[in-house]
């Protein structure tokens, strides 16, 4: 390889890296500084609304992993199924959101929060009332545009990057 | 007459195991390299360490339920895999996608091409010895795209966004303004990056003329994508067999002549510019209306077979599906780009040093998830 002036290209490269010193960092210090995640975030847990659920088991059919287990009672009071057990093994859940998409009664939601590490494998299996919505388990706006409107706006790196050039 | 000194100078071939857990094999790829000193005489590829049986798993899931599995093929470009699979199923079940759905597909497919090339170029430069700096500049741009993907479909890497007959959800209100901001910013970045590396002596010494893939070998191996275009084969399914609404956009197919590692890097950078050009046109033309055709949750395509292919970020990605009129595919075969592009590695590395083997391997741009399936 023959170069006329060896090092010109490298000096050009170094000029770019030096310019980068004066730019604002695009990283953030995670545990202290938190960015807003997407409104449609497919977060860590599944939220099940007992009132809306009719026990049709469409979610269980749509689930590609087969982690939703639903048991309905056989005696039908006023022509409705009574859901006995609704069990989800969230350890096997891949957060694809197909169950939420399939539910015709809007009884299922994906979670908005993350950071849900657990100590025991058995704690991932959640049944009935453990799947309720609560302040610790907020619902995400995935396939629920009305909930998405209420959630905070997502922080975007592109907005941060174009803002500083002004 | 041979002296004792000449006998002692003779060399013997030596077998070296590279991988499966080598930092520059981009996953769990193992090669048995036969070396003469430092010169590579032959390599024997060994893979299957990441085999998950995706083709077989698809046979027991519904057509919609297979889409999350396709995310896990090539996890650096999940959106492209979703698109390829959905194009194949739509061909099989004869479903027409609404206009808005097609435009959203084109935008996301080009976005993932840029994100994939950011990773491909970055890791190739990383292998060539530019440890960190260019990689993280590119990674920063990729991060911006992944923010947009997160806004669109809720997850950053495993998108699971494209559905049979359209896309899963409509674009959020703040998506197109953010993308409009991104396009000029990335143009600026690419110009800066070219200035940063175009004349870099170390990169030229490491990559120019290294690992040449001749045109005839590339054709015989069935190579596609940037790898083939760097060898002078002007072939792009977006032009040759337009699958979505690609025939409505103006763009060039960047090609190069030499087919070495440096040309592959150049072709990828040019392709990023062309992708931006397509996104720019698509943003202005996104029509209103439905984004998804009315398709039932569980479809039963008529018995038959279909092959749907797209120009993925790495090359031609195809899904061959056979239906027996049941809810799950009878057979699914994936023409995975990485696997077929990897077959040219042996011809490329013969005669080069072991340090060049790393650069050549990095320039092919493979993902082990797609090779082993």
Domain presence at residue A53: yes
**Contact pairs from chain A to chain B, CB under 8 Å:** 115
Q: Which residues of B touch A152 (CB under 8 A)?
A: none
Q: Which residues of A touch B298 (CB under 8 A)?
A: 61
Closest-CA distance, B254 to chain A, in angstroms, reads 24
ipTM, 2 decimals? 0.84
Q: Which residues of B touch A61 (CB under 8 A)?
A: 62, 298
The residue among B115, B276, B253, B252 whose CA lies nearest residue B185 is B276
Domain presence at residue A33: no
Domain presence at residue A139: yes
Residue A76 pLDDT greater than 70, yes or no: no
Cβ of A98 within 8 Å of Cβ of B64? The answer is yes
pLDDT, one tens digit per residue, over A27-37 is 888 888 888 88
Residue A77 pLDDT greater than 70, yes or no: no
Q: What is the total count of domains within chain A?
A: 1
pLDDT, position A149: 85
Q: Which domains does chain B have, with CATH numbers?
A: 10-372 (1.10.645.10)
Q: What is the mean pLDDT of residues A37-45?
A: 83
Q: Which residues of A touch B148 (CB under 8 A)?
A: 156, 158
The two tokens of residue B42 are 């032959």
Cα-flanking dihedrals φ and ψ of residue A110, to 5°? -95, 160
Domain presence at residue A82: yes
pLDDT band at A164 (very low <50, low <70, confident <90, very high): low
Domain presence at residue A71: yes
What contacts B65, CB < 8 A, 6 or more positions away? A62, A63, A64, A98
pLDDT band at A63 (very low <50, low <70, confident <90, very high): confident
Best A25, A58, A97, A166 residue to mutate vs chain B (most B CBs within 10 Å): A97
pLDDT, position B209: 83
pLDDT, position A155: 82
Closest-approach residue (CA) in chain B for A40: B154
Q: What is the mean pLDDT of residues A130-148?
A: 83
CATH value at residue A58:
3.30.70.3270
Cβ of B154 within 8 Å of Cβ of A42? The answer is yes
Find the domain containing A101 and state its range: 46-150
Strand order in the sheet with B316-323: B304-311, B316-323, B331-335
pLDDT, position B320: 92
3-state SS record for B215-228: HHHHHHHCCCCHHH
Domain presence at residue A158: no
Burial of B68 (C-beta count, 10 Å sphere; 0-12/13-18/19+): buried
Domain presence at residue A64: yes
pLDDT, position A36: 86
Cα-flanking dihedrals φ and ψ of residue B273, to 5°? -65, -40
Confirm whether pTM is higher than 0.90: no
Domain presence at residue A106: yes
What contacts A104, CB < 8 A, 6 or more positions away? A56, A58
Regarding beta strands B14-18 and B30-36, do their DSSP bridges make them parallel or antiparallel, or are they unpaired? Answer: antiparallel
Average pLDDT per block of 10 residues along chain B, 373 residues long: 65 83 78 87 86 88 88 87 90 88 90 90 84 85 88 87 87 87 88 83 83 88 88 87 86 87 88 90 88 85 89 88 89 89 87 86 85 84
Selecting from A41, A61, A157 the residue whose C-beta is nearest the C-beta of B144 gives A157
Closest-CA distance, A5 to chain B, in angstroms, reads 10
Cβ atoms within 10 Å of B227's Cβ, excluding its own: 28
The residue among B115, B120, B117, B116 whose CA lies nearest residue B142 is B115
What contacts A108, CB < 8 A, 6 or more positions away? A46, A47, A48, A49, A59, A99, A100
């Amino acid at each position: 390889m023959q170069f006329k002036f060896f090092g010109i290209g490298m000096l050009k490269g170094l000029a770019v890296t030096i310019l980068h010193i004066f730019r604002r960092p695009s990283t953030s210090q995670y545990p202290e500084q938190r960015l807003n995640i997407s409104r449609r975030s497919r977060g860590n847990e599944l939220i099940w609304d007992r009132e809306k659920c009719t026990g049709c088991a469409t979610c269980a059919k749509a689930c590609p992993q087969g982690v939703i287990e639903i048991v309905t009672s056989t005696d039908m009071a006023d022509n409705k199924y009574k859901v006995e057990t609704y069990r989800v093994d969230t350890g096997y859940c891949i957060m694809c959101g197909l169950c939420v998409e399939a539910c015709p009664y809007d009884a299922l939601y994906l979670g908005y929060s993350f950071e849900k590490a657990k100590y025991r494998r058995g704690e991932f299996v959640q049944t009935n009332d453990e799947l309720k919505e609560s302040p610790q388990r907020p619902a995400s706006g995935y396939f629920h545009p009305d909930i998405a409107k209420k959630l905070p706006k997502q922080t975007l790196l592109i907005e941060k990057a174009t803002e500083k050039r002004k | 007459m041979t002296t004792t000194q000449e006998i002692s100078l003779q060399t013997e071939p030596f077998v070296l195991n590279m991988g499966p857990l080598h930092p520059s094999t981009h996953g769990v790829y193992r090669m048995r390299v036969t070396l003469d000193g430092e010169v590579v005489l032959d390599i024997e590829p060994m893979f299957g360490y990441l085999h998950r049986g995706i083709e077989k798993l698809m046979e027991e899931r519904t057509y919609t339920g297979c889409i999350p599995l396709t995310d896990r093929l090539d996890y650096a470009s999940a959106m492209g895999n979703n698109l390829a699979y959905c194009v194949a199923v739509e061909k099989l079940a004869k479903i027409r996608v609404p206009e808005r759905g097609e435009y959203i597909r084109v935008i996301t497919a080009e976005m993932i091409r840029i994100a994939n090339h950011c990773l491909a170029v970055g890791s190739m430069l990383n292998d060539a010895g530019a440890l960190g700096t260019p990689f993280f500049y590119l990674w920063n741009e990729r991060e911006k795209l992944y923010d947009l993907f997160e806004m669109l479909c809720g997850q950053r890497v495993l998108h699971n966004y494209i559905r049979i007959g359209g896309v899963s959800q409509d674009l959020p209100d703040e998506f197109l303004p953010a993308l409009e901001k991104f396009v000029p910013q990335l143009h600026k970045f690419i110009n800066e990056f070219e200035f940063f590396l175009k004349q870099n002596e170390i990169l030229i010494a490491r990559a120019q003329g290294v690992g040449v893939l001749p045109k005839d070998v590339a054709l015989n191996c069935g190579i596609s994508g940037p790898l083939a275009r760097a060898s002078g084969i002007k072939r792009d399914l977006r032009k040759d067999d337009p699958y979505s609404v690609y025939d409505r956009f103006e763009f060039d197919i960047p090609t190069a002549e030499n087919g070495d590692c440096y040309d592959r890097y150049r072709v990828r950078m040019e392709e990023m510019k062309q992708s931006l050009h397509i996104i720019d046109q698509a943003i202005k033309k996104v029509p209103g209306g439905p984004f998804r055709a009315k398709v039932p949750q569980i479809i039963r395509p008529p018995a038959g077979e279909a092959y749907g292919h797209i120009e993925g970020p790495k090359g031609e990605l195809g899904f061959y599906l056979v239906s027996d009129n049941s809810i799950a595919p009878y057979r699914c075969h994936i023409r995975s780009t990485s696997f077929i592009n990897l077959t040219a590695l042996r011809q490329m590395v013969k005669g080069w040093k072991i340090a060049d083997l790393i650069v050549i391997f990095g320039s092919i741009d493979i993902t082990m998830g797609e090779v082993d399936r």
